[in-house]
Structure 1
Amino acid sequence: MTGNPLTLPEELLLLALDPVRGRLLNNPTYLRYGLAGAALADLEAAGRITVDHGDRITVTKPLPLGDPVLDHALTALRAPVKGGNGIKAHRWVRGSGRSVQELCLRRLEERGALRREPHRALGLFPYDRFPAGPVDLAAPARARFTAAADARFPDRRGRLLAAYASATGLDAGLLPGGAHRPLRRDLRRLAKEEWTAYAAFRAVQHDKSAAGGGA
């Protein structure tokens, strides 16, 4: 079942998964932040949320969209916030990334784009891989991304996906090698200009700082 067009988080997840091995091309936690940021962008485009003071999210229209991923994100954003001034975007992506990712995986399974393969690390610890399923949505997504990169990302959707790729470290897997280095530098700037990508970028930098003893 293919259903409705791919949401931004679904397309980003397809770009991040190796279609053969079913493994992510970047840090799993960082990707979750990008997926949550992508859900915010779709909600903003649908007129459901606005952002004020640079990073505080306010729900302006709480009506569901009929998409399980986006409606989950919208419900999470409607939760009461201390002080009543809206939740900070980077805090929300840190707290919501895991649930957004799991819903994206389920949705892509339902579409037939992914298969869930159970595995065990060291024969003990369960984990899943997600190779491509019978409905090939990954190859078209990669082709769109490559074409957008060749054209220097002229449309907003391509720019958003590129910004999330940069913010989460996925750009090195999608645009490898020295030939793409100037473009990757441009995407780093883009990741700071798009507020939904910048929220993911800030969450990633928080983790890196904490790992390095800076937080």
Structure 2
Amino acid sequence: MTAADGPGSPGLTLAEELLLLAMDPARGRPLNNPKYLRYGLAGAALADLEAAGRIAVERGDRVSVANPLPMNDPVLDGALAALPDPGKSRRANVKAQRWVRTAARPVHELCLRRLVERGAIRREPRRALGLFPYDRYPAGEVDLTNPARARFRSAVDAGLPGHRERVLAAFASATDLDSKLLPGGAFRAQRREHKRLVKQMWTAHAAYHAVQLDKSSASNAGGST
């Protein structure tokens, strides 16, 4: 059983489930920083590919394709195709942190498209100031968000007994989503434990590193003004 077929998740990839956890059903926008979320989605796709035996990690942070056969899943096959093909490229691997940054937007778009197809969200074209186009993604006719959040909260209350739930918690922590899903002092101990999970999972740590790099760049830019 791959991570995409975990118990209680209706055929969702980890990236899709993370996106459901992050999206505000009414506003159609992420609860956390959109860029941070995208890094998490890319990292979550790597976690699913690793669980399915499609990729391998070397020296702690270099990703290579171990099995190029498609998985018949648009999100995971798109992520797999974005990795260096060992048969066609002289570069047989890529740093996980670098790939997470470059693949973040395409993986995000694949997840959005898939959840629209599932009926879990709907695409609403908008224009900022009447000029600049953007999309919102409020809840669709098929409610997958509330069940995903219920599964996550139940798993947290139970101490994250399953691997899939630990991976989701790690990505929520890495992308600053945990403070939105588990707010306040009542969940301080759980959030602290989830931060430890980030260090134990190279896929989540790659997303965390991308987030921290953005924060550092923003801080340096602010200090130079």
Query: Could you say which TM-score interval applies, normalised by the shorter chain?
Result: over 0.9
- Which deviates the most, 72-81 or 158-167? 72-81
- The alignment partner of 1:57 has SS state of strand
Question: Per-residue deviation at 1:79?
Answer: 4.4
2:101 to 77, 94, 97: 94
Normalised to the residue count of structure 2, the TM-score between the two structures is 0.90
Percent identity, aligned pairs only, is 67
Distance 1:192 1:123 in 2: 44
Asked if 1:211 is matched to 2:205, the reply is: no
- Which of 35, 39, 52 is the matching residue for 1:33? 39
Which residue in 1 is equivalent to 2:77?
71
Match of 1:22 in 2: 28
**Map of 1:192 onto structure 2:** 199
Any idea what the Cα deviations from partners look like across 1:57-98, whole Å, max 9, x if unmatched? Answer: 010100000111100111111347987351000100000000
CA contact (8 A) 1:62 1:78 kept: no
Structure ranking higher on relative contact order (CA contacts 8 Å, 6+ apart): 1
Greater alpha carbon shift after TM alignment, 185-194 vs 56-65: 185-194
Instruction: Tell me the CA shift for residue 212 of structure 1.
Output: 1.4
Once residues 48 and 82 of structure 1 are traced to their aligned partners in structure 2, the CA distance between those partners, rounded to angstroms, is 17
What's the counterpart of residue 175 of structure 2?
168
Please say which of residues 84-93 and 29-38 is displaced more in the overlay. Answer: 84-93
Distance in 2 of aligned mates of 1:110 and 1:78: 28
- The residue that corresponds to 2:190 in the other structure is 183
Runs of 4+ in 1 over 2 A off after TM superposition: 78-85
Q: Provide the C-alpha distance between the structure 2 equivalents of 1:129 and 1:181, rounded to a whole number of angstroms.
A: 31
In structure 2, the residue matched to 1:137 is: 144
The answer to whether the 8 Å contact 2:170/2:194 transfers is yes
Q: What is the correspondence of 1:98-113 to structure 2 with a 5 Å cutoff?
A: 98-113=105-120
Distance in structure 2 (CA, Å) of the matches to 1:13 and 1:58: 25
Change (3 A) 1:57 1:155: same
* SS across alignment from 1:153: coil
Structure 2 CA distance for aligned equivalents of residues 191 and 110 of structure 1: 31
* Superposition deviation, residue 186 in structure 1: 1.0
- RMSD of aligned Cα (Å): 1.6
Aligned counterpart, 1:120: 127
Shift of the alpha carbon at 1:52?
0.9
Query: Partners of 2:185 and 2:149 in 1: how far apart?
Result: 20
5+ residue gaps, structure 1 = none
Counterpart Cα distance in 1 of 2:175 and 2:162: 20
Deviations 1:108-144 (A, max 9, x none): 0000110111112222211111111111111110110
CA distance in 2, matches of 1:26, 1:60: 33
* Amino acid corresponding to residue 150 of structure 2 in structure 1: A
1:42 and 2:55 aligned: no
Q: After alignment, is 119-128 or 53-62 more displaced?
A: 119-128
* Contact 2:65/2:85 (8 A) holds in 1: no
**Structure 2: 5+ residue stretches without partners:** 1-9
| Shift, 1:209, TM fit | 1.0
